[in-house]
Chain A
Amino acid sequence: MPVITYRKALNDALAEELARDENVFIIGEEVAQYNGAYKVTEGLWQRFGDKRVLDTPITEAAFVGLSIGASMLGLRPVVELMFWSFAFVAYDQIVNNAGCIRYMSGGQIHLPLVIRGPANGGTNVGATHSHTPESILANNPGVKVACPATAYDAKGLMKTAIRDDDPVFVMENTLLYGETWEVPEEEYLIPLGVADVKREGADLSLIAHGRATVTSLKAAEILAHEHNIRAEVVDLRSIRPLDEETILRSVRKTHRAVLVDENKPFGAVSAQIAAIIQEKAFDDLDAPVLRVCTLDAPAIYSPPLEKIQLPTPERIVEKVLSIA
C-alpha cells in the first residue's frame, strides 16, 4: 500500500472531489497561485483553473459568508482557513449563518459547505494562531465537526465531508501534514460519527481525537513496555456526530478511562465525553474519569514550554499510573 503524507491525502481528496462534482470549488487565502500556505491545495489551481480554485483577499468574514450564500444555491464550497484560529473573524457567519439558517428557515434550506484548515498548537506561533475551536464549534447543533488523526482518516473524512449536505468543519493539524501513513489507492469514504479503535487493550481506555490520538498511541506504547498496562486507544475522528457506542463499549471493557485532548479543559471535547461516560457507564467504572488537556492558559510561545503545555506521552502515562 502506498505511504503518503497527511497533506497529500488531503490534496488527493480535494482533487478527487473537484474532478467528481463540478459544483465543488475551493476558496481561501493563497489556495490557488501560491499553492496553499501549507501546500494542502498544491497543484489544484494548475489542474482545475480559476473557476474552481479561487484566491481571496484577507477577508474571512466575506469569503466564508459568500460560500454559505453560494451553498444555498447548491454549490459545494470547500473553504480553506489558513488557520482555524482565524475563524473568529468570521465567527458570526460560521455560527449564525452556517449554523442556524437551516433551522430558522424551518428546514427549507440546507448548506452543503466544508470549512477546513489546521487547528492546533505546538508550532510556536503564539496564542493567536494556536486555537483548537472544535469544542466550541461542536457546541452548535446544525454543524458537524471532524478531526482526522492520520492520513488515511484525513482523506476518507474529507471526501465524506464534501459530499455531506450539512456544513462540515474539518480540523487538521500542521504538525501532522508531513507525517506519513498507509493510504490505499482505491477510493474509500469514512463516515462521520464512527470512531476508530487505533489500538486494542484491556486495562484502560485512552480516548482522544486529532493529534492527541498520536500522542496517546505513544503513551500506550510506553505503558505496555514499561508498566505492563495494556491501554486501548479510541480515536473519535468525528466530534459531532459522535460515536458514543464505541466510547462506551471501550469503557465497559476496560473500566478505566483517561481522556486526552488538545483543547483547554473548560468545556473541552473531553468534558463532554466525561459527562457521557459518568452518565451511561458509571457502574462500569473502577476509577474516576481523568483528563489530560492542554494546560489551561493561552498558548505560550517559548518552544520548550509549549511542548509541555500540550498533552505529552509523559503526562498521559503519569495520569494513567495514578489510577491503574
Chain B
Amino acid sequence: METTLEAAPFVEAEVNRTLTAAEKIHFLSQMLRIRRFEQAALRQYQTSGQIGGFLHLYSGQEAVAVGTLSLRGENDHVVAGYRTHGQALAMGMTMNECMAELFGRATGCSKGKGGSMHFFAPDKNYWGGHGIVAGQTPLGLGLAFALKYKGIKGCCLCYLGDGAVNQGVYQASLNLASLWSLPVVYIIENNQYSMGTSEERSSAFRGCLAARAEAYDMAWDRCSGENIYEVRAKTWPALQRAREESRPTVLEIATYRYYGHSVADANAKKYRRPEEIEKYRTLHDPIQLWQKQLYAEGILTEAQAAELDAAAAAEVAESVRFARESPLPAPADIFSDVYVEVDRQTPAGRTGKFFFND
C-alpha cells in the first residue's frame, strides 16, 4: 500500500485546529524520544550483552502511537501487542523503567519479569504489552466491557498488527464488540508484513483489512500513519463513537517498520527489497514529515528541533545508565507476583502449598 501525504484536509479537522504550538511540538518530542530510545536499545542489545530475547522495534511507526494516544482521555484504556515500546512511552511510561525492563532489572516496569514484549503500567491505564499475536484482542473487549458495566464514559484502544487479523480470537472479538455494543477501538497497525510474510501472502480481503468489520455491522476506517494530523483526524471519530455511542470501530493505519521483525530477524533483508525500506525511510518518515510540517507552520526552528533531539538523546543515555546500575531481581523474587493472595500474605495466601519446588 502506497502512502501519500495529504495533510491539508486533515489540518482542518476540529481536533487538529484546536492544537496549540506547544502540543504540536510535544508530539515531535514524543516521537523523537521513542526513536532515540529504540536506537539505544538496539545498540545495547548488540553491544552490552545484557538484553536478551526478542526486541521488536517500532521505528517508522511512531506517528501511530503518538497520534492515536494524544487523543486519549482520563477514562480511556489501552492494550497492545508485543511491538509496544512506542505505545508504552506515549502512555507516559518513563524511559528508565522501560530500559531497565529490557536489562532485566528489578527497577524495570515489570521488575524484570516481563521483558520487551510485556511492558505494563495499569496506573496509566496501560494494560500491556502482550506476546501472543492477537491474544490481547479479547482483553481490549474486556476493558471496554468493564467500563460499560460500571457506567463509565470511556473506551479502550486495542492495537494489533496486520498479521494478527487472521487469528480466530480477533474475529470472535469483533463479533462480541458489535453484538454487545462495546466501546472498543481496534487499531490495526498495518506495516505490510508479519515477520517475513507480506500482507498479500497472509490475508484474503477486499479493499483493506479493516473492511472485514463490515461483516460484523461495525464501523471501520483507514488512514495513513505517517502524518499525525491524519491519524488524529481519523482516530477521533472512532474514540467518540465508542465513548458517546458505545459502538466499536476498526481503524487500519498504514505504516512501515524500518528494522527487521525483531533484532534477531535473520532474514530482515530478504523479504523486502532494500529500495523499499529506503523509500520509506527517506520519503515517508513520520518524524521528518512532522518536523517539516512544523517548520512550514513557522512554529519550530531547526535549532529547536535539534534541541529536542538532544534532550531525547540525553534522556536515553541516562536511562541506559540507570538500567546498567540497577540491581537485578533477587532469586527469591522469582516467586513473588505469582499470586496476589500470597504476596499480600492474606489468610488465603497462607493456606496450602502454592509452589512445588520441594
Contact = CB atoms under 8 A, between A and B. Distances in A.
B167 to A, nearest CB: 9
Contact of A107 (B108, B111, B127): B111
Contacts of A164: 341, 348
Interface in B160-188: 168-169, 172-173, 175-176, 179
A101 B340 CA distance: 12
Interface string B328-339: 000000001111
Contacts of A201: none
B352 A92 contact: no
B257 interface: no
Contacts of A62: 138, 141, 169, 172-173, 175-176
Nearest to A236: B352
B336 A72 contact: no
Contacts of A109: 120, 122, 127
Contacts of B339: 102, 141-142, 144, 166
Contacts of A57: 175-176, 179
A243 B353 contact: yes
Contacts of B108: 106
A73 B348 contact: no
B341 A68 contact: no
Interface stretch (B49-57, B144-152, B282-290, B317-325): B144-152
Contact of B169 (A25, A61, A73): A61
A89 B150 CA distance: 29
Contacts of B147: 73
Interface stretch (A41-49, A190-198, A204-212): A190-198
Contacts of B110: 104-106, 108
A106 B106 CA distance: 9
B142 A71 contact: yes
B172 A141 contact: no
A96 B167 CA distance: 16
A104 B118 contact: yes
Contacts of A101: 120, 128
Contacts of B254: none
Contacts of A281: none
B353 A241 contact: yes
A106 B140 contact: no
Contacts of A160: 348
B135 interface: yes
A62 B158 CA distance: 14
A61 B138 contact: yes
Contacts of A193: 348, 351-354
A113 to B, nearest CB: 10
Contacts of A102: 337-340
B343 interface: yes
A105 B128 contact: yes
Contacts of B179: 57
B145 A70 contact: yes
A72 B78 CA distance: 12
A97 B351 contact: no
A110 interface: yes
A65 B139 contact: yes
A67 interface: yes
Contacts of B336: 107
B64 to A, nearest CB: 22
A275 to B, nearest CB: 8
Interface in B231-289: none
Contacts of B141: 62, 65-66, 69
A61 B172 CA distance: 8
B143 A106 contact: no
A20 interface: no
Given A68-B142, A96-B135, A238-B352, A107 B122 contact: no
**Which of B110, B123, B139 gathers the greatest number of chain A CB atoms within 10 Å?**
B139
A103 B338 contact: yes
A71 B143 CA distance: 8
B321 to A, nearest CB: 21
A63 interface: yes
Q: Return the 5 tightest CB-CB contacts between A and B, nearest first.
A: A193-B352, A69-B142, A65-B138, A241-B352, A107-B337
8 contacts: A59-B175, A62-B169, A65-B135, A73-B146, A75-B145, A106-B108, A106-B109, A193-B352
Given A241-B353, A244-B352, A279-B358, 20 more contacts: A57-B179, A65-B142, A66-B176, A67-B142, A68-B139, A69-B138, A69-B140, A69-B142, A73-B150, A75-B149, A96-B135, A102-B337, A102-B339, A105-B113, A106-B114, A107-B340, A109-B122, A142-B338, A192-B351, A194-B351
